[in-house]
């Protein structure tokens, strides 16, 4: 048995990526020279580090529970990973097992060798009603990616689903004719090397369709943003960032693209020419997310714990918000561009207004990092004006919360997930919320009652969920390289 430090470093690097710690993964990758190793990442399965740790833990448990005579007795209490590396704990458990074996032998001799009946007190209850579970026959699983699929997004006008992966490709899947094996376009992200184009071998980290669905923008760890036509042709390559791009968004008009990168800057690009219109360098650490307020103003957040609101042609931020005590993972403007929501590793969700410097609400209810947030498409100025505006937050504490932002009040706590929740998305009418977790499940909830309506378990941890424009299909992307579509019309 042998392993190298390169192999250990690569597994740790992949674990950081799969856990959503993209900037930590980037820093670790640079310091450990991951790019110089000879490991083919496409061949390494998702969750490899956790898998090998689990096997090591099982070996340690087996070592404790098997006696010198070869007989086995189950551990009364399972070892934790930390217990397994502590010699005193392991020795103590071995002593407990030996004492139990002696006690069992004594009991068996007293009962003339008759086995005592063991009554199981453990009862398993179904968390989800059987009628709620979506059978695998009702899902279309899309195979083709060779690595984890971090993101997916529906075209706003027709049923084309875009996905972006660690295999340095984005793909466009045609889901309009409901065939079992839909047509896919492969968008290969290449870079110039020695006068020829070669695969970048870098993750596609972000993608977004423009307003009419004619163009798809992608951002990559190779530092380039790209614009593609809906038929898969590369239209523009946007090169100004010095390092990975973490997020990018089209404005509503579709004439500008906004991007955020590890180089601490945000850039507004002219979509028609592919030129950098303005670069903003106000953060002191990697910029993690951006969101347009209007067609020319936007907010950005960073690991520096700060949020800046900037405007095209302005030399300084028009507003800055400080209050988070750890990196800010995501920001989202409400449908009217009046309120800005932010979520952080400090476990808080904050609501900000351009009218004041301090936050309007400081919502502290989650017990772990909050990874992402989404506003409902409801309330004044939306297609659903008679429904209240609500905000959804997804956390590593395995829960989703729905908030009445006007009152700063949690309406529903959604608790069926058993692993970190990476993504939430509202249906176009605001009546349903989809959530995706690393427990491999996509849950669909009623936003009014908070009840679970549908549930589907895939084959990998879920990084992203999204609704099509009609609200009858949910797309999801997963850590095992799969993308799947749930057609709710069939349920």
Rounded mean pLDDT, 127-150: 84
**pLDDT tier, 90 (very low <50, low <70, confident <90, very high otherwise):** low
The share of the chain scoring above pLDDT 90, in percent, equals 68
Burial of 82 (C-beta count, 10 Å sphere; 0-12/13-18/19+): exposed
Residue 347 pLDDT exceeds 70 = yes
- Both tokens of 365, joined, read 């209810």
326: three-class secondary structure by DSSP: coil
pLDDT, residue 37, reads 75
Residue 72 pLDDT exceeds 60 = no
For residues 266, 252, 436, 80, the Cα torsion angle rounded to the nearest 10 degrees is 10
Residue 367 pLDDT exceeds 60 = yes
pLDDT, residue 180, reads 67
**Sign of the four-CA dihedral 207, 208, 214, 220:** negative
Rounded mean pLDDT, 95-111: 52
pLDDT, residue 370, reads 98
**Which helix or strand (DSSP H or E) is residue 49 part of?**
helix 48-65
Among 13-22, 301-310, 480-489, name the one with the lowest average pLDDT. Answer: 13-22
CA angle, 189 as apex, 187 and 190 as ends, to 5°? 130
CA atoms of 250 and 405, how far apart (whole Å): 26
**Which helix or strand (DSSP H or E) is residue 80 part of?**
none
- Pick 351 or 26 by higher pLDDT: 351
138: three-class secondary structure by DSSP: helix
Q: Is 390 left (phi over 0), alpha (psi -120 to 50) or beta?
A: beta
Residue 69 pLDDT exceeds 70 = no
Closest alpha carbon to 156 in 208, 206, 205: 208
Output the CATH code of domain 136-487.
2.130.10.10
Residue 412 pLDDT exceeds 70 = yes
CA atoms of 332 and 31, how far apart (whole Å): 32
CA atoms of 159 and 486, how far apart (whole Å): 13
CA atoms of 395 and 364, how far apart (whole Å): 12
Among 80-94, 207-221, 267-281, 378-392, name the one with the lowest average pLDDT. Answer: 80-94
77: three-class secondary structure by DSSP: coil
90: three-class secondary structure by DSSP: helix
pLDDT in tens, 14-28: 888 888 788 888 888
pLDDT in tens, 18-57: 887 888 888 888 888 877 777 877 677 778 887 788 777 7
pLDDT, residue 125, reads 31
Q: Residue-wise over 258-282: b if at least 16 C-beta within 10 A, else e?
A: bbbbbbbbbbbbebeebeebbebeb
Among 32-36, 94-98, 100-104, 194-198, name the one with the lowest average pLDDT. Answer: 100-104
Among 140-154, 178-192, 255-269, name the one with the lowest average pLDDT. Answer: 178-192
Residue 445 pLDDT exceeds 80 = yes
pLDDT, residue 104, reads 45
- Both tokens of 53, joined, read 């740790």
Of 4-13, 113-122, 362-371, highest mean pLDDT: 362-371
CB-based contact 297:288 (threshold 8 Å): no
CB-based contact 484:436 (threshold 8 Å): no
Rounded mean pLDDT, 62-82: 61
Rounded mean pLDDT, 327-356: 97
Q: Does domain 5-65 have CATH number 1.20.960.30?
A: yes
pLDDT, residue 127, reads 40
pLDDT in tens, 424-444: 999 999 999 999 999 999 999
Each domain of the chain, given as residue ranges in start order, spans 5-65, 136-487
CA atoms of 335 and 354, how far apart (whole Å): 15
Rounded mean pLDDT, 358-374: 97
Burial of 334 (C-beta count, 10 Å sphere; 0-12/13-18/19+): buried
- Pick 465 or 127 by higher pLDDT: 465
- Both tokens of 426, joined, read 């509202």
Q: What is the mean pLDDT of the chain?
A: 88
Helix pair angle (5-18, 22-31), 10° resolution: 160
CA atoms of 249 and 272, how far apart (whole Å): 15
34: three-class secondary structure by DSSP: helix
Give CA separation, 85 vs 56, 68, 80, in Å.
10, 22, 9
Output phi, psi for 98, to 5 deg.
Answer: -65, -40
**pLDDT tier, 97 (very low <50, low <70, confident <90, very high otherwise):** low
pLDDT, residue 428, reads 98
């Amino acid at each position: 048995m042998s392993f190298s430090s390169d192999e250990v470093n690569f597994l740790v690097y992949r674990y950081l990526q799969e856990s959503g710690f993209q900037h930590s993964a980037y820093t670790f990758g640079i310091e450990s020279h991951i790019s110089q190793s000879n490991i083919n990442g496409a061949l390494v399965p998702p969750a490899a580090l956790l898998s090998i740790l689990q096997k090591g833990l099982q070996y340690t448990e087996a070592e404790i529970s098997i006696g010198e005579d070869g007989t086995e007795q189950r551990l009364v209490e399972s070892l934790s990973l930390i217990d397994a590396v502590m010699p005193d704990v392991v020795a103590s458990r071995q002593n407990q097992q030996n004492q139990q074996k002696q006690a069992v032998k004594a009991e068996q001799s007293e009962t003339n060798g008759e086995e005592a009946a063991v009554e199981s007190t453990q009862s398993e209850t179904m968390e989800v009603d059987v009628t709620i579970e979506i059978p695998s026959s009702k899902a279309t699983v899309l195979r083709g990616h060779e690595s984890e699929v971090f993101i997916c997004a529906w075209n706003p006008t027709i049923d084309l689903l875009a996905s972006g992966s660690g295999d340095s490709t984005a793909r466009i899947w045609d889901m309009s004719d409901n065939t079992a094996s839909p047509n896919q376009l492969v968008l290969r992200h290449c870079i110039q090397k020695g006068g020829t184009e070669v695969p970048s071998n870098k993750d596609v980290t972000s993608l977004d369709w423009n307003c009419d669905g004619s163009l798809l923008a992608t951002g990559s760890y190779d530092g380039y943003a790209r614009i593609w036509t809906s038929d898969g042709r590369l239209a523009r390559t946007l090169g100004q960032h010095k390092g990975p791009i973490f997020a990018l968004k089209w404005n509503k008009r579709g004439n500008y693209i906004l991007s955020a990168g590890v180089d601490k800057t945000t850039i507004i690009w002219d979509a028609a020419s592919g030129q950098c219109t303005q670069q903003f360098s106000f953060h002191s650490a990697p910029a993690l997310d951006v969101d347009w307020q209007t067609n020319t103003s936007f907010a950005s957040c960073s690991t520096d714990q700060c949020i800046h609101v900037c405007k095209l042609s302005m030399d300084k931020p028009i507003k800055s918000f400080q209050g988070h005590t750890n990196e800010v993972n995501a920001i989202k403007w409400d449908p009217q561009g009046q309120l800005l929501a932010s979520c952080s590793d400090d476990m808080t969700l904050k609501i900000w207004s351009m009218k004041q410097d301090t936050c309007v609400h400081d919502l502290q209810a989650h017990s772990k990092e909050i990874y992402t947030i989404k506003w409902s498409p409801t309330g004044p100025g939306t297609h659903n004006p008679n429904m209240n505006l609500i905000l959804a937050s997804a956390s590593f504490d395995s829960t989703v919360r729905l908030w009445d932002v006007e009152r700063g009040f949690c309406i529903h706590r959604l608790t069926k997930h058993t692993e970190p929740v990476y993504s939430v998305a509202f249906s176009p009418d605001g009546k349903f919320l989809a959530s995706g977790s690393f427990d491999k499940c996509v849950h669909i909830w009623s936003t009014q009652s908070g009840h679970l309506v549908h549930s589907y378990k895939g084959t990998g941890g879920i990084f992203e969920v999204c609704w099509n424009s009609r609200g009858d299909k949910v797309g999801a992307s997963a850590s095992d390289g799969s993308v799947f579509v749930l057609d709710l019309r069939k349920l």
